[in-house]
Structure formats: structure tokens, C-alpha cells
Amino acid sequence: MNFYQQPFGMGQQPVFIGQPIMPQPQFIPQGDMMMGPGAALNPFQPPREEQSYVENILRLNIGKVATVYMNFENSQWGSKIFKGYILAAGKDHLILKDLQTETRYLLLMVYLLYVTFDEEIDYEYPFRKKENKK
């Protein structure tokens, strides 16, 4: 068997003389399997570091009344305003309960323009140490 006829194992590529060796793609864990900075080892412990993404800020303010401004571009609805209690927030959605009708709205973040509150909003995570304010 010469060099060009050697068998190669699963995931290996044959290497020919003069051909550059290219690194092979590796399995990269996703989601819950990934343990990077900020990932909690104990599921009952909060993450050490939270990013201030919109969904995280909305989660900190669950139960508060919010006015949500949305723009449904190129649709029959155009821009629309929703006012209600924040029930939940995810990476791509917000669930709002209307103040008057008790209707629940599942609103997609992709259409979100901005949110206003009539009261002070929570922005600090309860497990973070607050810096001394002077």
C-alpha cells in the first residue's frame, strides 16, 4: 500500500504531499452544556455575571406596568402601543397582560421599539453587590 492508498479513520482526511493541513472542525457544546464565564454550576444559584440585555431588564421588572411601543413595518398594523403588566420576557418575546381587558399579548422583540414605565425600574440584579454611592 503506498501513501495515497492508506486508509484513514472516521473524521480524518487524507493528506497529500504539498497540500496544506487544514484544522478539522471540533464539537462545540451549546446551551446548557456550555460552561463559560457567568455560567452557574448550581442551577439554584444565579449566574455570576448578567448582561444588561432588554429581556433581562424586562425580567427584573415583572409585575410592573409598562407601555410597549412596537412597529410592525410593512403591515396593516403599522405602529402600535400596548400597555399592561409584564408577565414574562424571553430572548425573543414579551408577555404582557392588558390592564383593562385581561387580554394576554405575546409580543415579539423583533418589533420592539422601546418601553416606558410610570415608576422607577429595577436595573440592578439582586445578587450583585451595589457600589457605594457618594
Query: Which tens digits make up the pLDDT trace of 36-86?
Result: 444 455 555 455 555 678 999 999 999 999 999 999 988 888 999 999 999
Return the domain boundaries, the chain: 54-117
Under DSSP, the state recorded for 40 is -
CATH fold of the domain at 54-117:
SH3 type barrels. (2.30.30)
Torsion sign, CA atoms 86, 87, 89, 94: negative
Q: Average model confidence (pLDDT) for the chain?
A: 76
Q: pTM score, two decimals?
A: 0.57
One-letter identity of residue 108: L
CA dist 38 → 15, 16, 48 (Å): 40, 44, 5
Residue 67: which H helix or E strand, with range?
Answer: strand 65-72
Tell which phi-psi region holds residue 121, choosing left (phi > 0), alpha (psi between -120 and 50) or beta.
beta
pLDDT more than 90, % of the chain: 46
Q: What angle do CA 113, 114, 115 make, to 5 degrees?
A: 145
